[in-house]
């Protein structure tokens, strides 16, 4: 199935990419790791979040929680200084949309986007779409992201929406634990297909929480970032216009 057309975004040297923060919107202090990281990126022209910024997100109901409000304010401050913010929804926060864009100044890209730098054109996605052997998950994903449900979710009463999100999260954890790891793994053949479809030599994603940076045989360069806080959890457009991977706790060059 062909993916809907993706935006093409120019990313300048110093643009950085992170993902899988899994911030708990109910915790007031959940913003601190993000705030500390952004403080080290004062010269970065753009920030890309590869999905799962939040552990769960059902729209306005989550946005009113104390932790979420602080995260949104931090991101709004980022864009207010003139830096770009691009967010790719993940499997935990796929309902990020117009309300989030309005509050933060971000651009949300539901299907990812193609990043153009001076020397390396790359497809940026969350990464769950690479788990093609997990047929049940992919089927559920299509249902949850159907137009009727996307339109209904923001209109649900807050208490009900939060309860549904908690229930879905619990079910998801149980289901993933019961599946063989081979079934939930990201598939190189899908990496090749998506890179070919987007006409790019590089694909950057998260979701797996296990770092990799390799050139696939007969395929693209495939970068999977660690979950935020891991050893290799940041991709940056380097001086030569190519993606460089480092850790969020490493000092900037």
Q: Give the tens place of pLDDT for each residue, 129-166.
A: 999 999 987 887 777 766 766 666 666 555 555 555 55
Q: Report the predicted TM-score, pTM, of the whole model to 2 decimal places.
A: 0.88
- Dihedrals φ, ψ of 108, to 5°? -100, 130
| 76-91 average pLDDT score | 97
Q: Which residues are within 8 A (CB) of 121 and not within 5 positions of it... i.e. 6 or more apart?
A: 114, 115, 199, 200, 201, 202
DSSP state letter for 253: -
Measured distance CA(76)–CA(64) in Å, rounded: 15
Q: Residues 168, 171, 175, CA angle at the centre, nearest 5°? A: 135
Of all residues in the chain, the percent with pLDDT exceeding 70 is: 83
**Residue 4 pLDDT greater than 80, yes or no:** no
The listed range with the strongest mean pLDDT (52-61, 138-147, 170-179, 235-244) is 235-244
Give me the chain's average pLDDT, please.
88
| 71-77 average pLDDT score | 97
- Pick from 40-49, 174-183, 188-197, 228-237: least confident: 174-183
| 207-233 average pLDDT score | 96
The confidence score (pLDDT) of residue 184 equals 84
In this prediction, residue 253 has a pLDDT band, given cuts at 50, 70 and 90, of very low
Bridging pattern class, strands 234-237 and 243-246: antiparallel
Write out the two tokens for 133.
């052997």
| 210-226 average pLDDT score | 97
Write out the two tokens for 210.
């296990």
Query: Structural domains in the chain?
Result: 7-246 (3.60.21.10)
User: pLDDT by residue (tens digit) across 6-34?
Assistant: 999 999 999 999 999 999 998 999 999 99
**Residue 69 pLDDT greater than 50, yes or no:** yes
**Residue 67 pLDDT greater than 80, yes or no:** yes
The confidence score (pLDDT) of residue 217 equals 95
The confidence score (pLDDT) of residue 62 equals 77
């Amino acid at each position: 199935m062909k993916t809907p057309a993706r935006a093409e975004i120019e990313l300048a040297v110093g643009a950085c990419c992170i993902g899988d923060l899994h911030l708990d919107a109910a915790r007031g202090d959940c913003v601190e790791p993000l705030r500390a990281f952004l403080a080290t990126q004062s010269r970065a022209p753009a920030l890309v979040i590869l999905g799962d910024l939040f552990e769960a997100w059902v729209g306005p109901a989550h946005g009113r929680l104390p932790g979420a409000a602080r995260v949104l304010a931090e991101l709004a401050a980022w864009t207010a200084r003139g830096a770009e913010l691009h967010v790719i929804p993940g499997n935990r926060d796929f309902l990020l949309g117009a309300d989030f864009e309005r509050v933060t100044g971000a651009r949300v890209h539901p299907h990812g986007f193609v990043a153009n730098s001076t020397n390396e054109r790359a497809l940026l996605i969350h990464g769950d779409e690479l788990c093609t052997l997990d047929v049940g998950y992919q089927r559920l994903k299509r249902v949850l992201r159907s137009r009727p449900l996307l339109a209904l979710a923001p209109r649900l009463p807050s208490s009900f929406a939060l309860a549904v999100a908690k229930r879905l999260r619990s079910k998801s954890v149980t289901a993933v634990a019961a599946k063989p790891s081979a079934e939930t793994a990201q598939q190189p053949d899908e990496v090749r297909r998506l890179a070919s479809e987007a006409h790019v030599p590089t694909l950057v994603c998260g979701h797996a929480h296990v770092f990799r940076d390799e050139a696939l045989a007969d395929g693209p360069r495939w970068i999977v970032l660690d979950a935020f806080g891991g050893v290799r959890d940041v991709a940056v457009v380097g001086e030569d216009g190519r993606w460089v991977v480092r850790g969020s706790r490493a000092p900037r060059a």
